[in-house]
Amino acid sequence: MTPFVFDTTRSLVFRRAAAADLAGHAGAVLGKSCFVVTDAGVRQLGLCDAAIASLEEAGHTVSVFDSVEADPSRTTLMTAVDAARAAGATGVVGFGGGSSMDVAKLVALLLGSGEPLDEAWGVGQAKGPRLPLVLVPTTAGTGSEVTPVSIITIGEEEKRGVSSPVILPDIAVLDPDLTLSLPAAVTAATGVDAMVHAIEAYASSNANNNPLSRMLAREALRLLGANIETAVFEGGNADARAAMLLGSMLAGQAFANSPVAAVHALAYPIGSTFHVPHGLSNALVLPHVLGFNAPEAAHLYAEIAADAFPRLAEVEGAQARCAAFIEALHGLSAKLGLQTRLREVSVPEEALAKMASDAMLQTRLLVNNPREVTEADALAIYRAAW
């Protein structure tokens, strides 16, 4: 058996209303001065109110930074670091979607270690230590609560990542109730994002692709495929919401150890240049990247096709089942009400060449793709998606 390493969050709490007892689950880890990183939308909806009250009632001092934006910038990150330092933070809570959790990870790292951000970029460069860190997701998609990755936007368009087990949190608190108010479009996009994580983890050519990641990816696809439509069209269905949150987490554990590839690499320029949400960016290129990969990975996609779409178990032959899987994914996006063409999210055709060039900068992702992607290939994929 090929050697591998599997890293994940040390402790997981999964139950309804778990966030309302954040002090009970994580107070001892966080210390006296808790710094909560979130966004204005989460704050306005009151999603973190019960968690903050729980900490304060237990005697903790709580400071809140609620200025995280989608695709958070370096400026936002460093502003949060300064605020946490001024508050004398002893522990950090990331409360929200992937952006808030990503900022929280690096706030904890930079305050705890004092290392320069520019020395932490890349894989395995962050040394630590970090401040105690607890993550509470409010969407079912990123899996950031169990991944050692944080993505920050540098300048106008470049996305840069820190990838290190050092930034895995001490505790992840998964409360399905926090996802009940997610709009249908967000539920759909983040749900497809989680499916992409599972698919790319399963087919990753990374040397650390391993039996645990593959097992988790398949269970994630079973949960996500069976529940995504219900979660989108019956948003108050607590069982479907719980299944989506669990599936997202399992997919996160999978790709945290068997990293994602070209779907994400080609999605990043869409998000950074045209401010398309990350999950939707993935959905827009997903079928076209899988179609490109099929000559090398059809057997892998055929193995997981029926996990997401049980009816595909009846399709015989790896090539035919792979093709049916790709078509089913494309059809799912349309059924969920997501845009399916780049032109539908205001990406002009003349931008495709630069996007292809920008995608080539995502070398840490492209090396994991089951088929080598050239700039010409990336451009052809974008054209197919346009």
- State the pLDDT at residue 66: 98
Helix (H) or strand (E) holding 341: none
Adjacent-strand bridge partners of 94: 37, 135
pLDDT in tens, 313-341: 999 999 999 999 999 999 999 999 999 99
Q: How far apart are CA 13 and CA 171, in angstroms?
A: 8
Give the CATH superfamily of 187-385: Dehydroquinate synthase-like - alpha domain (1.20.1090.10)
Cβ-based burial of 335 (10 A; exposed 0-12, middle 13-18, buried ≥19): middle
pLDDT in tens, 178-228: 999 999 999 999 999 999 999 999 999 999 999 999 999 999 999 999 999
Among candidate residues 135, 240, 131, the one with its CA nearest the CA of residue 182 = 240
pLDDT in tens, 69-105: 988 999 999 999 999 999 999 999 999 999 999 999 9
Integer CA distances (angstroms), 126 to 63, 109, 242, in order: 26, 8, 33
Among candidate residues 223, 227, 247, the one with its CA nearest the CA of residue 235 = 227
Q: How far apart are CA 207 and CA 248, in angstroms?
A: 23
CATH 1.20.1090.10 segments of the chain = 187-385
Domain 11-178 fold:
Rossmann fold (3.40.50)
- State the pLDDT at residue 351: 97
Q: Are strands 91-96 and 133-137 parallel, antiparallel or unpaired?
A: parallel
Instruction: Indicate the pLDDT class of residue 1, thresholds 50, 70 and 90.
Output: confident
Report, in this order, helix, strand and coil percent for the chain, each rounded to 5: 60, 10, 30
- State the pLDDT at residue 159: 82
Among candidate residues 253, 259, 212, the one with its CA nearest the CA of residue 4 = 212
Cβ-based burial of 183 (10 A; exposed 0-12, middle 13-18, buried ≥19): exposed
Q: What angle do CA 277, 307, 303 make, to 5 degrees?
A: 105
Contacts of 245 (CB under 8 A, 6+ apart): 14, 137, 140, 174, 176, 179
State how far Cα 168 lies from the chain centre: 13
CATH 3.40.50.1970 segments of the chain = 11-178
CB of 209 closer than 8 Å to CB of 256: no
Question: What's the pTM value of the predicted model, to 2 decimals?
Answer: 0.95
- State the pLDDT at residue 210: 98
Average pLDDT, the chain: 96
